[in-house]
């Protein structure tokens, strides 16, 4: 199984890992419980989209507004927020679940 590992603000996570995975003694609960949220460019504005959804959850004029709403949703769901830059590349990701790969140090 080939998986791409993406660098994260807080640790690393395999591309495509989005839903809860089985609890064990180390994690003491689900890692991700809700859908990952994506802040994406939409025409002249920005939007928030849940993973796997074809439609936007919400639309905004600015990226900042979309990030604020996406962060709220991700925190409430214990999931991840991924932010797309103006160049259409995802520039950062924030994990609000139980992080299985916390940063060292």
What band does 97 get if pLDDT is binned at 50, 70 and 90?
Answer: confident
Exposed, middle or buried, 2 (CB in 10 Å: 0-12/13-18/19+)? Answer: exposed
pLDDT of 31 higher than 60: no
Give yes or no for a contact between 33 and 78, defined as CB atoms under 8 angstroms apart.
yes
For residue 83, the enclosing domain spans 5-15+33-95
How high is the pLDDT of residue 24?
33
Q: For residue 51, tell me if it sits in a domain.
A: yes
Across 37-41, 55-59, 84-88, least confident range: 84-88
Report the predicted TM-score, pTM, of the whole model to 2 decimal places.
Answer: 0.64
Angle at 46 between CA 40 and CA 50, to 5 degrees: 45
Q: How many CB atoms lie within 10 A of CB 75?
A: 15
Which has more confidence, 23 or 76? 76
What is the secondary structure of 31-84 as a DSSP string? S--S--EEEEEETTEEEEEETT-SS-SEEESSHHHHHHHHHHHHHHHT-EEEEE
Is 11 in contact with 101 (CB distance < 8 Å)? yes
Classify residue 64: in a domain, yes or no.
yes
On whether residue 73 sits in a domain, the answer given is yes
Specify the higher pLDDT residue, 41 or 20: 41
**Number of domain units in the chain:** 1
The whole-number pLDDT of residue 4 equals 41
Q: Is residue 45 included in any domain, yes or no?
A: yes
* Residue 103, domain member (yes or no): no
Average model confidence (pLDDT) across the chain: 76
In a domain, 104, yes or no: no
pLDDT at 11: 37
Give the C-alpha separation, 22 to 54, whole Å. Answer: 27
Considering only 3-7, 28-32, 89-93, which range has the smallest mean pLDDT?
3-7
Does 105 map to a domain? no
């Amino acid at each position: 199984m080939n998986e791409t590992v993406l660098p994260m603000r807080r640790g690393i996570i395999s591309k495509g890992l989005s839903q809860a995975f089985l609890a064990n003694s180390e994690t003491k609960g689900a890692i991700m419980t809700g859908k990952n949220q994506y802040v994406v460019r939409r025409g002249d504005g920005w939007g928030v989209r849940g993973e796997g959804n074809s439609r936007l959850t919400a639309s905004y004029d600015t990226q900042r507004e979309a990030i604020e709403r996406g962060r709220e949703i991700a925190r409430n769901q214990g999931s991840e927020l991924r932010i797309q830059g103006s160049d259409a590349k995802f520039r950062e990701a924030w994990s609000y679940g139980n992080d299985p790969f916390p940063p060292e140090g």
